[in-house]
Structure formats: C-alpha cells, structure tokens
Structure 1
Amino acid sequence: MTTALQPPLPSHPVLRLRLAPHSDLPRAIDGAWWPRSYDLLVELPRLLAGLPREWGHVASVTVNGAAWPVTAGRMFVSNQVVRLHRTLAASAPPTVVLLAPGRGRWDLLVVPPDTTAEAAEPLMAAAVADIEGGSPWVPDPVPRG
C-alpha cells in the first residue's frame, strides 16, 4: 500500500488581490480585492501586508459602512497605527480606500466574500483592465446572495 503525502495547507490564505498596472494617468479603480470574510480586523492586515512596498505605510483606510460591521477607529498593523473610517451613505461604492501620506491614494473594488470564483474572476479582471486606451471601467456593485 502506497500513501501519498498531501502538501500542507498554507498557514496564511492566499491574498485575492489584483492591482492595475502602474500608470501616470489617474484611475477610478486601482485594483480589486476579494476578502474571505467581512471581519476587517482579520482581513485588513492581510491586505496591507500584500501591497507593493512602494506604496509605503497605509495610515488610513475607508470602507463602505453598509458592507463592513462597526469596528474600532484604529488598529495596529505591523506595529503601526492604521485609522479606520466608514462611509455612511447607502449609495457608497463597494470599495476600500487606502491612503499613504506622501505616497498616494488607492481605491480598490471589494468583491463580496461570498461571491463565487466564477463571478469574482471577471469582476477582478475588469477592474484592473484598461478599456479603450486608458479609461478605467468602474464596476457596478456586486449583488450578494
């Protein structure tokens, strides 16, 4: 009898993130993030750890208040304070806004955690694609359920 060894599961799930190619032209959406849950205290450190180093320290994060539960006003990520803000408008886009002082602002489409892979993949690809020579596509909110 032969026993096949299974590779160990990763201790940290793979970050589901796509970023648009660097450009000097401004974009409405800079990438797409597909978190595994709506637990911001778990998901946000994973996201920030996976961002390009040239983005610097993200000091402020704004999320759609209708989608994410209430959380503390700040948290520590890699021994640095990150301020958390929530939009209160019901019509706020399904995005997370990342601010790094002196470096820039990045808006990422948030694909709901319960979205199937078949539905999430084209949304993420479209969010980082350039359409008609540089016009970024701004996706509609993803329906839940």
Structure 2
Amino acid sequence: MDGTEGTSHTGFHAGSFSARNETRAVAETARRRVRIMSATLYPALPHLEPVSAPAPRLALKPDGSARGLLDGAWWPRSRDLLRELPALTSMVGPLWGRITRVAVNPEHWPVIPRKVPVDGHVVRVGWFTPEIDPHKLLLLSYGTGRWDLLVIPPETGAASAARLMAAACDLDGPPLTASALIAADEARYAVTDTSPDPGEAWEYEGGACDRLVVGV
C-alpha cells in the first residue's frame, strides 16, 4: 500500500509539473505572437519636422498711442483662417499677451473653425454678423486686452495694401472704420495696382507706420 501510494503521489506531481510547463510554453508563444503582431500593425511613424509658416504681413500702431477705431492692419495670404491665424497670433502674442479668442464677420471667410491650435494652446474663433465690420478682425488676449485690425483682402495689390496699412496706423488721420478705409482707397485709386515688387511698395508707402511688421 505504501509503495502504491508513493508511486501514485509521485506520478501526480510529475503530471502537474508537465502541465504547468506546457501552459507556460503556450503563454510565452502567445506573447511572442502579440509582440510580432503589434510590431506589424503599429509601425513607428517617422518624425516629421513642423513646417514654418511665413511671417504675417502686419502693421501696428506704436505703443501708447491713441487707439481710435483700429490698432493696425493685417494682410493675410488667403481666406483660410485655420492656416492664417497661427502665424498672426504667434506674432502679436509677445506684444499684447497670449491671444485666446478671435472674432470675425463671416462675410469674407468661407470656413470659420471653432478652434485653432497655436503654439501649444488653443485659440477659440467666433463670428458676429452685425457687431463686427466685414473687413475687421477682433483679437482678445489673456485678460482684458482687445485689439481691432483692418483685414486687407488677400487679393489686394501691394501698393494698395501698403497704403491701407499706413492709413490704419495713421495717428492723425480721420477715425474711419475698416470698410470705410478700403472704400476710400478704392475710390481714390481706381486703377489696379501693378507694382512688381511688394517690398518696394512696403518701404515707400508703409513708412508712416512706426511699428511695421512685414512678411513677404
């Protein structure tokens, strides 16, 4: 009886040891398959360098000047706010504080995104039809800062854009709205601009602006 029990006892543990080994082997094989599948299904993505946007074409009134109806002028390269706003808000952020909100009139903007990512934070975009001039952009900084910019249409010629920037920054000029400034320039200079060099137009026409930030 003792011999039989001993044999039975030894055999039971030997079988259990073998089963545990088999279970571990199956589990290890499964883990290898998971690792292989993971490597196949989720390959490492290549590192992409961020594409730097061109500097915004911008003219601002000097610090401490009377604000009037406008604080400057902005000449975007397109009517795509998602593309244009990051460069603009990044440029004025160090001057006016972090821009957190932007408001526009939707008349000249085909698509108005609700949020625009800018340098690690989000700028919220809103639109108002009667309250905001169709040719104006409203910027709100972190706190209570507010700035109003004339928006020069992207298709505007270089000479006209330079005149409008100078007019928006003119401290002695009449307090005209954004649309009134554009209408006055169109009425006075009915001929289409043919200036071949925007840089020359900036330097000649934009000299009246004490704070001129140019991106060409």
Q: TM-score range by the shorter chain?
A: 0.7 to 0.9
Matched residue count: 133
Map 1:54-133 onto structure 2 (within 5 A): 54-89=95-130, 92-131=133-172
Alpha-carbon RMSD across the aligned residues, in angstroms, is 2.5
Q: Which has the higher contact order (CA 8 A, sep 6+)?
A: 1
Q: TM-score under structure 2 normalisation?
A: 0.55
Q: Percent identity?
A: 41
Correspondence for 1:19: 60
1:142 aligned to 167, 182, 198, which one?
Answer: 182
Structure with the higher fraction of residues in strand conformation: 1
Structure 2: give runs of 5+ residues left out of the alignment: 1-51, 187-191, 193-216
Separation of aligned partners in 2, 1:90 and 1:97 = 11
Deviations for 1:53-112, whole angstroms, at most 9, x for unmatched residues? Answer: 141111000012101122221121111111101122398341110001325100000000
Whole-Å Cα distance in 2 between the matches of residues 37 and 112 of structure 1? Answer: 8
Match for residue 40 of structure 1 among 81, 89, 92: 81
Residues 108 and 91 of structure 1: is their aligned pair in 2 closer, same or farther, counting only changes over 3 Å? closer
Larger Rg: 2
Asked if the contact 2:167–2:181 (Cα under 8 Å) also holds between the matched residues in 1, the reply is no
Return the alpha-carbon distance in structure 2 between the equivalents of residues 111 and 40 of structure 1.
14
1:97/1:106 contact within 8 Å kept: yes
> Which has the larger helix fraction?
2
